[in-house]
Amino acid sequence: MTRRLFGILAALGLAASLSGFAAPAQAEKRVALVVGNNDYKNVPRLLKAVNDARTMGDTLKQLGFSVMVAENQSRQQFSETLLAFDRAIEPGDTAFFFYAGHGFEIAGQNYLLPTDVPAATEGQEELVRDAAILADRIVERLQNKKARTSILVFDACRNNPFERKGTRAVAGGGGLAPMTQLPEGVFSVFSAGPRQTALDRLSNDDTNPNSVFTRTFAKELLQPGENLVQVAQRTRRAVSELADTVKHKQVPVYFDQMVDDVFLSGIAKDAAARPADPPPQKLAALPPVSVPQMPREETTNAPIASFSRHNGGWSVVFSFADPTLGISWRIAGKGDFRETGFIDTLDPRTRKRMPNPSIELPPDAQAGTIEIRYVDQSGEMQGPFPIRFDPEAALIRDQRKILDMTATSWLSFREFNGLLVYYTHLVSYRCAIREVRIGIDTAVPNQVLKMPPCDMRDPSAITAGMPLYMKLASSTQSVSVELTYRDGSVSEIKSFRSANRSNH
């Protein structure tokens, strides 16, 4: 699971490269550190990590970041570089960390390997830990600096760098471990999913100077108007398709703990077009707003929306912090606003009938913006407020939530001419699932359970001929299950005992 580390200009160039950060920094700015490590002394060298760091540095500069580029970092240099990055960050800033180089997972923790990491064999895991940089510690440092938005990108999912013929390697595996327990305000992207390795190139004829992931991710970052989730999703799709062309499985994953949508390219371009507006640093973690005009920030109390898919289409439920006397909506720029009506419930805050907080959309509703406005308790119209609707993302989020809440229903057993295990529940919410792994009479899911493809037009439909169960040996005692969701995160392993059999 090796990949590359960010590099700094090197010891002598460090002071010069950081001179731009030495001066007092403006609040709520964009700062970035990119590291690329090629020249490893005791483990296999890499070819493209430094190029990847340079490409990402150039990309982030175009997005308004002050960028430090660090190359071929030893352990001490890496530590000094991180200290310099710490000093550059102030409360409210947007911080971006990119690492290309070897990475390694030990006991569920990810370590970024400096160029002087020692060679290690079985039982010498502590050598690696002591000589490497713990990825979780970088997250902690950004939190301690009170960065509003922290973005971490790891193009470091390579083969085990400690594998040697004739020796037993350090206990670890290919790929990095998922970072599922991130604090609020952190967004992380990995170039490959759990148990996967990342491609440097597609073939010997591939002359692109960057890895398959970085060449794609850098391009997507510059697309105007895409938030970080959209950037990650488009990158994942493109990289996966490229890897498929050479019969390799590489599906980048991301872990999202953002409160706001984060638009990097959109904000930078809007700010360049409107120099009289506040500088982009002030809005680094907020979505750009065009039409409709938002109320002034101090009076804004925007609603939030939850989307759920059913057989007849979409239900959208809005939540308002303020008491409301009426709610109206429209698809952005299309026709007049429509009232949602009222429900037969009195709002104790207004002593009037409560406006209906929900609307319905057809099953084939396209991605777009819903504009919402409401009448507050004093009779003033507030809004309109734009709410982004992405059917695919909304479906995945809704089904993922259902799967998490109903984990005890993933499998059920039935005796019928033997022992059957049903996975109908998983099929019903398959659009949120990338892969199902099961283990029969083992706590380690070690085989893939093939699922039907997702049909966005009728996502929960179960049609004739769909496999919904498998036959097991009558002596089977248990089945373990692990889900890899579409966003790349991995569920806890759930175990189902055949003794708890149902007859439905």
pLDDT in tens, 35-87: 999 999 988 889 899 999 999 999 999 999 999 999 999 999 999 999 999 99
Cα–Cα distance, 42 to 81 (Å, whole number): 22
Predicted pLDDT of residue 163: 62
Are the beta carbons of 409 and 494 closer than 8 angstroms?
no
Predicted pLDDT of residue 271: 40
**Mean predicted confidence (pLDDT) in 295-305:** 59
Predicted pLDDT of residue 122: 65
Which residues are paired to 105 by β-bridges? 110
- Taken in order 92, 93, 94, 99, the sign of the CA dihedral is negative
| Integer angstrom CA distances of residue 462 from 199, 263, 453, 465, 466 | 36, 37, 11, 9, 7
> Which stretches within 307-450 are classed as H helix?
391-405, 424-428
Torsion of Cα atoms, 345 then 351 then 355 then 357, to 10°: -70
Token pair for residue 452? 């039907």
Residue at token pair 């295990």: 421
Name the residue with higher pLDDT: 1 or 381.
381
**Mean predicted confidence (pLDDT) in 478-493:** 84
Cα–Cα distance, 86 to 73 (Å, whole number): 17
Are the beta carbons of 442 and 434 closer than 8 angstroms?
no
Range with top average pLDDT, 184-198, 219-233, 450-464: 219-233
Mean pLDDT of the chain: 81
Residue 162 has pLDDT above 60, yes or no: yes
Q: How confident is the model at residue 282 (pLDDT cuts 50, 70, 90)?
A: very low
Residue 289 has pLDDT above 70, yes or no: no
Q: Name the residue type at position 470.
A: M
Residue 287 has pLDDT above 60, yes or no: no
Residue 301 has pLDDT above 70, yes or no: no
Q: How confident is the model at residue 296 (pLDDT cuts 50, 70, 90)?
A: very low
Least confident of 63-72, 256-265, 397-406, 447-456: 256-265
Q: How confident is the model at residue 158 (pLDDT cuts 50, 70, 90)?
A: low
Least confident of 172-186, 425-439, 464-478, 487-501: 172-186
Q: How confident is the model at residue 174 (pLDDT cuts 50, 70, 90)?
A: low
Cα–Cα distance, 175 to 388 (Å, whole number): 34
Q: How confident is the model at residue 173 (pLDDT cuts 50, 70, 90)?
A: low
Compute φ and ψ for 43, nearest 5 degrees. Answer: -130, 170
Token pair for residue 247? 């019969």
Beta 342-347 vs 253-256: how paired, if at all? unpaired
Q: How confident is the model at residue 415 (pLDDT cuts 50, 70, 90)?
A: confident
Helix or strand run (H / E) with residue 10: none
Predicted pLDDT of residue 275: 43
Cα–Cα distance, 397 to 112 (Å, whole number): 31
State percent of the chain over pLDDT 90.
37
Residue 255 neighbours by CB under 8 Å, 6+ apart: 178, 179, 180, 182, 186, 187, 188, 487, 488, 489
Picking from 168, 8, 190, 163, the residue whose alpha carbon sits closest to that of residue 85 is 8
Name the residue with higher pLDDT: 61 or 20.
61
Least confident of 21-30, 187-196, 390-399, 452-461: 21-30
Residue 3 has pLDDT above 50, yes or no: no
End-to-end CA distance of the chain: 43
Are the beta carbons of 134 and 153 closer than 8 angstroms?
no
